[in-house]
Structure 1
Amino acid sequence: MVNFICPVLNARLTSSFGWRNIGRGKEWHQGVDLASPIAGLKVPIYASASGEVVWSAPLSTYGNSVRVLHKIDGKTFETNYAHLDRIMVKKGQVVKQGQRIGVMGNTGGSFGIHLHFEIHEGRYAPSQPNAVNPMKYISLLNSIQENGDELTMSQYNELKNMITELQKENTELKKQLENKLDKQKVRQPLECHKDDWSWFKANGISDGTNPQDFVTREQLATITHRMDKFNTKKFKK
């Protein structure tokens, strides 16, 4: 299974993948914009997956950007991290998933501090023919969002997997409980308890139909044995 992580800790989704208009007319947004609740220019950007840095320099409206090439499960992907304040890796460097590669910024054609993040199924190319919605692969489940309560497909799949695992654990616990109950020995009533039950029936306290019920039997027997006037010598047979 392809595994990408969100490149920003506790990210805020501020602009989705697809058509948008942010004051420059209708335009196609081939990635997502991620902001952070942390103020300032010190927000770290992490590699979404392990791979090789193939670009580490300013690039037109992207400003300072980093691109990482990934080979995952026999497939090629390329991620793009744009508008960085500072780049912390070099071209040709191999990075691990979760490794810091830069600092969030406002360089290039940006209107505020954020990260523009892209995932390409295949190599990055002009006009972005391989760009896909990053939310197909990353999860903001533990992050603050600005897109309401609607779950992304990635979040839905993550929740579904969590529920499946919990159901497996619940089934296993049920099996263990059943095995334990099967091994428990049935406690037989003492003779004095049988006498007590007969007395309850004779005096209309119980109909005497369930003397095998240990809890009820023990409770009633305890009550009678604590009361002198109901000791076993006075029981009516």
Structure 2
Amino acid sequence: MKEYLVRFLIVGIMAVCITLLFLGGRQANAEALNTEPEWIWPAEGIISDTFGTRGGRHKGIDIAGNQGAVVRAANEGKIEKSYYSSTYGNVILINHPNGYVSVYAHLDKRLADEGMIVSKGEQIGTMGNTGYSTGVHLHFELHNAEWTTDKKNAFNPSSLLGTIGTGDSIAFNGLKNRVAAEVDEGTGVKMTGAAGDILIHTVKDGDTLWAISIKYNVSIGEIQKKNSIKGSKIYPGQELSISGQGLETAHLKIKIMN
């Protein structure tokens, strides 16, 4: 009987030890996950396009702003590439310790050379309109492994930086506001809606549905459906709602309506 009790106690002690080891392992893993460094937005401005638009071909986020605006490293890392590309224009790629690669494209100036170690928030360039670009903005990508020409490793930066939508105003430390934004220079175009995801086009003399659809890269059918238009007739002064997905309009000069 005594031998049986001793064995029972030994088994119990071993079970307690295994449980403590298991819990300790889980706690260590949780702490490791929580040590993921926070990312910052690489530029301040207006979100003019989001990840996955253009039929899934857009593999980054576009931030429209002023020519020469500061562009910063979204996290610490080593400059992998700093060069001029026919499509990206002036572009910088950063390798990060966690295995991610970030891309900063269409820069006006590159202020970091290959091989440099940069800290989070350090300026690496200025916003521009180089390469295949429709206006002054920063095209920002994140890849969960090496960058490839087919961008197979690209993922939505919002998963690390926070959810945003077209028309949102952001600062380096996150979303600034979701107020309406208006395109300046008297174009008759403005962003509206709680999340800035609707664009209003005021019809001018000579406008046609076809011309408007080409301008905003949406189909005539989408415009008709959005505005309950059955035919093709539109009239000057009429305000047409345009879906915010895939719009390039915010690449024009933009101001925030506070």
Partner of 1:122: 145
TM-score (norm. length: structure 2): 0.50
1:15 and 2:49 are equivalent in the alignment = yes
Give the counterpart of 1:142 among 165, 175, 180: 175
For residue 100 of structure 1, the aligned residue among 112, 118, 123 is 123
Q: Equivalent of 1:5, from 16, 24, 40?
A: 40
**CA apart distance, 1:80:** 0.2
Distance 1:60 1:49 in 2: 26
- Counterpart in 2 of 1:85? 108
In structure 2, the partner of 1:201 is none
Residue 64 of structure 2 is aligned to residue 30 of structure 1: no
Alignment of 1:1-237 (within 5 A): 1-9=36-44, 11-20=45-54, 26=55, 28-36=57-65, 39=66, 41-72=67-98, 76-139=99-162, 140=170, 141-144=174-177, 148-149=193-194
Runs ≥4 residues deviating over 6 A: none
- Residues 17 and 133, structure 1, Cα contact 8 Å, conserved in 2: yes
Change (3 A) 1:102 1:122: same
Which residue identity lines up with residue 16 of structure 1 in the other structure?
T
Q: Which runs of 5+ in 1 are unaligned?
A: 21-25, 152-237
CA distance in 2 between partners of 1:98 and 1:14 (Å): 22
- Aligned pair count reads 139
Amino acid at match of 2:48: T
Deviation of the 1:119 alpha carbon: 0.4
Q: TM-score, normalised by structure 1?
A: 0.55
Distance 1:70 1:50 in 2: 6
Q: 1:123 to 1:147 in 2, by over 3 A?
A: farther
How far residue 144 of structure 1 moved from its aligned partner, in angstroms, is 4.6
Secondary structure, in 3 states, of the residue corresponding to 2:114? coil
Kindly state the Cα deviation for residue 60 of structure 1 after the two structures are TM-superposed. Answer: 2.4
Deviation at residue 55 of structure 1 after TM alignment: 0.5
Q: Which runs of 5+ in 2 are unaligned?
A: 1-35, 163-169, 179-190, 197-258
Taking the aligned partners of 1:117 and 1:135, their CA distance within structure 2 comes to 11
The one-character-per-residue Cα deviations of 1:162-202 (angstroms, maximum 9, x if unpaired) are xxxxxxxxxxxxxxxxxxxxxxxxxxxxxxxxxxxxxxxxx
Secondary structure of the corresponding residue to residue 66 of structure 1:
strand
Instruction: Give secondary structure in 1 for the equivalent of 2:80.
Output: strand
Which sits farther off after the overlay, 135-144 or 43-52? 135-144
| Cα-to-partner distance string for 1:129-154 (whole Å, 9 max, x where unaligned) | 11001111114443355795459xxx
Q: 1:149 to 1:98 in 2, by over 3 A?
A: same
Root-mean-square deviation (CA, aligned residues, Å) is: 2.1
Distance 1:148 1:129, change over 3 A: farther
Cα displacement string for residues 26-72 of structure 1 (whole angstroms, at most 9, x for unaligned residues): 56100010112xx4x22010000000000101122100000000013
Secondary structure at 2:87 match in 1: helix
